[in-house]
Amino acid sequence: MEEVLFELKNVKKVYRVGEVYVPALRDVSLKVERGAFIAIVGRSGSGKSTLLHILGCLDKPTEGDFYLDGENILEASENRLASIRNRKIGFVFQQFNLLPRMTALENVETPCIYAGVKRRERIERARKVLKKVGLEEERFFHYPSQLSGGQRQKVAIARALINDPAIILADEPTGSLDSRSGDEILKIFQRLNEEGRTIILVTHEQYVAEYAGRIIRLKDGYIEDEK
Amino acid sequence: MIVELIKIAFNNLGSNKLRSFLSMLGIIIGVSAVIAIISIGQGATYRIRSRVSSLGSGLIIVSPGFKGGKAGKVSTEVRDVFSLELAADLAKGSPDVEEVVPSINSGALLKYKDNNYQARMVATTPGYIRVLNCSVERGRFLLERDVEGFRKVAVIGQGVASELFPGEDPLGKKIIAYFGKRRLIFEVVGVLAHKGQMMFFNFDEQIYVPITTVMKRAAGKRYVDLYLIQAKDADKAESAAMEVEFLLTRKLKDPDLFRIRSQEEVIETVKQITSTMILMLAGIAGISLVVGGIGIMNIMLVSVTERTREIGIRKALGAKRSDILLQFLIEASVISFIGGVVGLFLGWIVSAVVSHFTGWPIIISPLSIVLAFGFSVGIGLIFGIYPARKAALLNPVEALRYE
Ligand SMILES: Nc1ncnc2c1ncn2[C@@H]1O[C@H](COP(=O)(O)OP(=O)(O)O)[C@@H](O)[C@H]1O
Ligand SMILES: [Mg+2]
């Protein structure tokens, strides 16, 4: 039995820049089953990031319906959205988005602070996920500026994993990496998917999309095709 | 959670030490000003009050009033109203008055051998040391028979003794005193114990002589400058002053001819003046605290803008609006709290320095500490709220896109 995790119905997203309205998503309907590995592809400006932000409850659609795990997200409060982002979803970005004045370990701990986890358990969990993504132990106390791109992205993935979320959303996670580190990162996503986590990956590189079980192609805010 | 937020706050402040210090400066100056002003003010008041009451309690001073001053005329001090007879009448006629001591004060140049000294000459009666709480160190004070016999004897203060008679015993020595156009020779019969400065004159730099001697020898002067009046006891000071006022009005038939000041009145006036001054200065200090708060707000606004991306990241990781709000509020209060602590020490140092030079005691009341701290943290919170709210309400996606 396939369980539907995400359900978008006729979602539109319009940004307002001064007097001009910029449509980022025009009419998107989409269902994602639990445990899927999906790649979203398309040209730059086609609305991939916008779609991912909506799926990750960072932004609300201008129009349409959105259910996550059966919950109507359009009616959820700010605090509820924060809590969903904290526990159900892990975000990974192209520019890593680590906090520069914190060590790798402290960065990984951060979502746990907002989840109200005690310090000792936090550190224990952070070490575990850092090991899981394959960061060498001597790097744990390095600052982001002292790490390579691949290492930074590992830290970012560990941070996304620390509250053991069911969903990982990644926006061009290999976009800033050389192909070897990129492959390493993609292998991690593959493993996470095998553990049963739902992975949605935005990319514009064809070979990255090969990892996914399903590819959704966006064009000018529409879903152009799917396979 | 709070612990983590405080850690984050210190981390951020530490990463830009100069800026954090500059943003604290306003609060530091404000708090140290409040602390210093209040403690110096209280020290000064305390000192003046203890000086005034060292004169003994229940002192009333009757001095000449002022005439004229209306219609463009210069007002002049009334002369020639206080006679020795009137002094005796006052003493007799007022049941709450213990003693009335007349006195004439003038400058006098004193000479002994090659030493000379410009002193204040107080011509008075034996009651003087009782009314003004002085005591004799050596020899004796003026006696009734000195006054009755117009005798040319003198008692001198410590300062006079040490200047005119260095290394010598002044008792029995003859001093030449020049005052007005007169010249008189006095024999020193006593030296007063140290008492020091009191309001405008210094007991140690005075010479005390019988009032009759000065009145008779200074061209038959018939009137004295003022009356020092001692009430029966401190509680009766007010009624004694009223009795004196009543009697003087009846005898002189003109209330403008005299002025009555009681010691309590002087203390009250001093208290009023100092508390008004403290209030004014504290107002200024308060303004500088507010300016300090605006400085904090400014820095916090800059900080929120600079860290827009950080705020976006934290929100993406699950921070609630209240978490972000609290983070920035704590940061603002940490700045103002540290500013408050530094200001407290600085204010204490300033008042210690002032106290060192003036000899006033340092009085730092717990109230002023609580006030300064409460104020500084309060100001951090009040002026931190706007920037913190701004941070908390940022849209996460916009914040993440911010370069
Ligand atoms: N916050 C925003 N404000 C204004 N326009 C935006 C904003 N976010 C995205 N857009 C616009 O929406 C369109 C889709 O952007 P995006 O989803 O980032 O595309 P992609 O990630 O596929 O490159 C673009 O035209 C972009 O300029
Ligand atoms: Mg994008």
- Does B317 contact A159 at a Cβ distance shorter than 8 Å? yes
B222 and B190 share one domain = yes
Q: How many CB atoms lie within 10 A of CB B20?
A: 21
- Ranges of chain A with pLDDT below 70: 1-2
Q: What is the pLDDT of residues B189-231, one digit of tens each?
A: 999 998 877 666 788 899 999 999 988 877 567 888 889 898 8
In sequence order, which residues have a C-beta less than 8 Å from that of residue A75 and are 6 or more positions away? none
One-letter amino acid of B50: S
Contact list in A for residue B316 (CB cut-off 8 A) is 56, 58, 85, 91, 97
Domain for residue B169, yes or no? Answer: yes
Do both B109 and B214 map to the same domain? yes
For residue B132, being part of any structural domain is answered with yes
Residue B21: pLDDT over 70: yes
Query: B45-49, B138-142, B247-251: which range is least confident on average?
Result: B45-49
Ligand nearest, relative to CA of residue B400: 1
Band (B375; pLDDT cuts 50, 70, 90) = confident
Chain A nearest CA to B34, separation (Å): 37
Q: What is this structure's pTM?
A: 0.74
Rounded alpha-carbon distances, angstroms, from residue B311 to A97, B9, B400, B403: 11, 14, 8, 12
Find the mean pLDDT for residues B118-133.
Answer: 90
Residue-range domains of chain A with CATH: 37-58+81-226 (3.40.50.300)
Residue closest by Cα to atom 4 of ligand 1: A15
Q: Which residues of B touch A101 (CB under 8 A)?
A: 11-12, 15
CA distance linking residue B95 with residue B246, whole number of Å:
12
- Is the domain of B38 the same as that of B177? no
Full residue range of the structural domain in which residue B28 is found: 2-51+269-401
* CB neighbourhood size of A180 (10 A): 9
Is B128 part of any domain?
Answer: yes
Secondary structure letter of residue A145 according to DSSP: G
Query: In the numeric block, which tokens belong to residue B287?
Result: 């303004």
Q: Measured between alpha carbons, how far is B331 from A113 in angstroms, rounded to an integer?
A: 17
Nearest-angstrom CA–CA distance, A92 and A129: 14
- Inter-chain CB proximity B315 and A101 less than 8 Å: no
Strand-pair category, B182-192 with B136-139: antiparallel
Check residue B83 and report its DSSP letter.
B
Strongest mean pLDDT among A112-116, B43-47, B83-87: A112-116
Assess if residue B247 is contained within a domain: no
pLDDT tens for each residue of A149-200: 999 999 999 999 999 999 999 999 998 899 899 999 999 999 999 999 999 9
CA distances from B42 to A217, B207, B270, B315 (A): 79, 34, 12, 51
Provide the 8-state DSSP code for A3.
P
Same domain? B163 vs B284: no
Burial-class residue B247 by CB neighbours within 10 Å (0-12, 13-18, 19+). Answer: middle
What is the pLDDT averaged over residues B125-136?
88
**B317: nearest CB among A59, A79, A114:** A114
Answer yes or no: do B317 and A101 touch at CB < 8 A.
no
Phi-psi region of A171 (alpha: psi -120 to 50; beta: other; left: phi over 0): beta
